[in-house]
Amino acid sequence: MLVSRYSLRSALILCCAGLLAACGPADKQQVSVISGKTMGTYYRVSVLGASKSQEAELREKIESQLKEDDHQLSTYKDDSVLSRFNQYTGSEPQPISQGMADAITTSLRIGRLTDGAMDITVGPLVNLWGFGPTKQPVKMPTQEQIDAAKKLDGLQHLKVIEQSDGTYLQKDLPGLYVDLSTVGEGYATDHLARLVEGMGFSDYLVSVGGAVVSRGYNEKGRPWQVAIQKPTDKENAVQAIVDLQGMGISTSGSYRNYYELDGVRLSHIIDPKTGRPIQHKLVSATVIASTALEADGWDTGLMVLGEKKAMALAEQQHLAVYLIMKTPDGFQAYMTPQFKTYIRKADQG
Ligand code: FAD
């Protein structure tokens, strides 16, 4: 029986919240905040020193960029570029944009480095468990259904081809279904950061869902700060505060988007090896990287691996990673030395 569903998409708190744009000419001390809905979640752009007319131009460009990203990557829209690729059952290379090619190339690399834990071809399993555009199941999926969905999975079946006349995507398994939901927020966040920079702003904080990029300073002349939430759906408590210093950050958490079926808590993060939602003590993984796309790809892979393998891989790859594990008494945090350099304040409890 379906008991309940929880979907709290962002595990990061933007510490600029509550600051609003003021009227009048551009003023270096004023923050403009442009926000709205996109991709089943929210975006928020805070920029220092924009005039009213620049603010209007920014909003228009942001909305247009997000619409384009959604058109490229959505599995929730039948006519997106990705959905059309998923519907195509042939093996001829299909043209894609350079941006989409970069997102897929990054995803395939992280997929290999995580030994297939981060797997953008896991879509049939995501949909079977009701975390994609399809409805949640009312009965626990059977092993036969899981095995059938697993047969459609495999990074080795997907190839990005870069040629002088453009970039292409090719599959050699007719039912292969690519799900870029795990990197889509980071992808869009990087685009918004580039857009804001392109308009000449150097002090900004942008986010789409759980992915954030910041550069420069806030209205108080201090670096923008982002808070990692404690991994619980019941409170908005802060686990740690980081200063991004121009980097991208993303958090993936098993407690953010889940439902309960037959008394079992089912998270939206699927282990491609078992074909089932993850069930372990690691409840949140935050990664800081040079782009939000990169951070967004790693956080899901680390969540799938579980705390021991995630720690070992983070150390081996010199990643800036903050993990939160559930303990009988509460939570325990772990961070790599690379992450420590971004920490302003951390609660070990
Ligand atoms: P992350 O941890 O970053 O990623 C988890 C997601 O990745 C899962 O939900 C699943 O889709 C996938 N996944 C699960 N396991 C794995 C794995 N092992 N490897 C790789 N991927 C895995 N949601 C809506 O409700 N309505 C919409 O209209 C909608 N449109 C969207 C359009 C776009 C372009 C994108 C990118 C997403 C859209 N979403 C939509 C989805 C949603 O907003 C989030 O992007 C999604 O829930 C994942 O983000 P996250 O940060 O919560 O999770």
Among the listed residues 208, 215, 203, the one whose alpha carbon sits nearest the alpha carbon of residue 188: 208
Q: What is the pLDDT of residue 22?
A: 29
Q: Which secondary structure element, helix H or strand E, spans residue 153, and what is its range?
A: none
* Domain range annotation of the chain: 1-349
What the block records as the tokens of 45 is 């752009």
- Gap from CA of 75 to ligand 1 centroid (Å): 9
128-136, long-range: CB < 8 A, 24+ apart:
129/266, 129/268, 129/270, 129/276, 129/277, 130/259, 131/257, 131/268, 131/270, 132/75, 132/76, 132/179, 132/181, 133/75, 133/76, 136/2, 136/5, 136/259, 136/261
Residues within a 6 A CB radius of ligand 1: 9, 39-41, 70, 73-74, 76, 117-120, 122, 126, 131-132, 179-182, 184-185, 209-210, 252, 256-257, 268-270, 272, 296, 300, 304
Q: How would CATH label the architecture of 1-349?
A: Roll (3.10)
- Gap from CA of 51 to ligand 1 centroid (Å): 34
Q: Which of 118, 182, 255, 280 should be mutated for ligand 1, with most atoms under 8 A from CB?
A: 182
Token pair 């006519």 is at which residue? Answer: 79
Q: What is the pLDDT of residue 232?
A: 74
Token pair 């981060």 is at which residue? Answer: 118
pTM of the model: 0.92
pLDDT in tens, the chain (349 residues): 232 333 444 577 665 432 222 233 344 568 999 999 999 999 999 999 999 999 999 999 999 999 999 999 999 999 999 999 999 999 999 999 999 999 999 999 999 999 999 999 999 999 999 999 998 898 999 999 999 999 999 999 999 999 999 999 999 999 999 999 999 999 999 999 999 999 999 999 999 999 999 999 999 998 898 998 888 766 678 888 998 988 999 999 887 788 888 888 899 999 999 999 999 899 999 999 999 999 999 999 999 999 999 999 999 999 999 999 999 988 999 999 999 999 987 775 5
Class of residue 41 by CB neighbours under 10 A (exposed 0-12, middle 13-18, buried 19+): middle
Cβ neighbours of residue 19 closer than 8 Å, sequence gap 6 or more: 31, 33, 46, 218, 219
| Phi, psi (degrees; rounded to nearest 5) at 198 | -60, -25
- Gap from CA of 181 to ligand 1 centroid (Å): 3
* C-alpha to C-alpha distance for 47 and 107, rounded to whole angstroms: 29
Token pair 């929880």 is at which residue? Answer: 6
Q: What is the pLDDT of residue 18?
A: 25
Residue nearest to atom 49 of ligand 1 (CA): 182
What the block records as the tokens of 271 is 């282990």
Cβ neighbours of residue 192 closer than 8 Å, sequence gap 6 or more: 43, 45, 62, 65, 66, 206, 208, 213
What the block records as the tokens of 169 is 């995507």
